[in-house]
A and B are shown apart, each in its own frame.
Chain A
Amino acid sequence: MTTLLQRFGSARDAFTPSRLTAWPASAVNPASSMRSGAAAGTPKVALEDISLEYRTNGSPLLALDRINLQVRTGEFLCIVGPSGCGKSTLLHLIAGLQQPTSGEVLIDGEPVTAPGTDRILIFQELGLFPWLTVGDNVEFGLKLKNTAKAERKKKAEYYLRLVQLSQFADSYIHELSGGMRQRVALARALATEPDVLLMDEPFAALDAQTRDLLHDELERIWAQTGRTIIFVTHNVREAARLGDRVAVFTFRPGRIKREFLVTEPRPRQIEDPAVSRCAKEILEDLREEINKSLEQEYRISS
């Protein structure tokens, strides 16, 4: 299993030019086939036959269709898909902010019924509290856990240092740049020390340089803290840069189309040729879905 290329059965994979393995969704259980030994036992996060139906103006809309997905402890999973495929919604379900119409979200084998600080979601809009200082934002989750004040301060300081924002503890959110806010959100999520970090297109609104920087930081923090990360993005390169595994979603209803395993060694860089090659391959798969989403948009607007 240490060859440059990880190949599985299908003919398609024989031509895979990168350290990437693709297989149809649900054909193989990646956890059991990939890192033998490490993945024994219950997965950290398991989605079992998750479906979600919305009712808009009486007509039902199937947003998510029988999603089955397992995430190992310490795994970095990226989910890519066209906009409107329900990938953000999926994170809300895992966070317990919303309930699926059918199916179950299991954390360590236990069904999720409500939000819990063992899994923290970083929203696309961040949702940092403008009435609190950066330090108080980071301490917020700990305060709710009734952590003692001294301990709270210490942890907030630690995580602010981890995201390199120590000098800004007393600033207010509006005084920070976009990238800094992003890091505050990360520190706030990490401070509650969740097992699972759910990230919803966190870097979408940032310029390329800041994003590259935050990729490095996220990878470093992930390696340092050993958290399980589920990272939603529409940026395929970002997914190939960060993920151990990339799941491609179909456009409405959201389904897992295919999963890719990225075995490029870390630390990676977004401009690594291998990362680009992976991204290209994932994109080929995704393009079909993006076209579908565009078609739908044109149909509605014309």
Chain B
Amino acid sequence: MVKRSAGLALLVGSLLSCGPSSDGYAFVREEHCPPDCDASTDAGHDAGRSDAGPPDVPDEPLEDWDLTDAGPLTGIYALEVAVLANVVVDLETRQLYRVRMLQHGTSVRVRLQACVIDLASIRGLADLHFTPAAEGAIRRHVIDLEGDYLTAADPIGATFRPPRTFVTIGADLAMPDTDPLPTMADAALALDEDADGNPGVTIDATAVVCPSPEQVFAAFRASIALSGVVSDLEAFDGTVDPSIEQSVLGYTNDCLRVAANLVVTIRPGSAFHAHRVGAAQDLDGNGNISCPEVAWAGASLFGDYWAR
């Protein structure tokens, strides 16, 4: 009798417990920062661009430069570069830099740091973005320059023209400015800068030809040659002669094969806008405006493009 009851209970239990089970449906993350959260106090967030809230600001003190007799151009600027390009169709892509300058007469010491490099995307067809880890790797590239980059000691009305500067990402080259980038066929010199186990740096790719979000692994070399008249010490504009080279080192789905072979060509007319930043952008109040703060301030300084 007991056995019969147990069997009946097992049968009823089986009937009630059948159906879908979430055991086979894995979570994709454990933490996040929901709307209205304060990322500085809420430990849970994925630090992606899409998260709401201000960014995490690493503890990066201001460079210890000797400011004695520094000229009026001295300070930190957020620099937006708008690159006109063609990838099948004409499009515009933008980059944000942190530029710290120390002026003595016509001589300017410049520290240039890429904060955000937007990739050439065709919205709705192919959206490409560096992963948060790749953006972190890009921000570790710091370029120092010093020379007579002003045409006059009084910066107002003078032309600011530093030499062309190169940033090479995802490759370990002996001559970073000129050596060929690694390729999918020869990836020996590829460098896993974002430490995710894949060559180069990783790009999140959402393309209409792919059924789900995928990733591309690539190396890049970008350069900019700035030239502009300092019309105002708070903000000034100029022209840019940019270049972009990219080499795809791999992808997670063959659906990206065609997209990986896209060639980016630069069109004439690229420009830059420089805007001095200060206390209003200093989220952590340490006297330094670091890259995450420049990126966070992009929308207020340069418009809705950076609010996306």
- Whether chain B is bound by chain A comes out as no
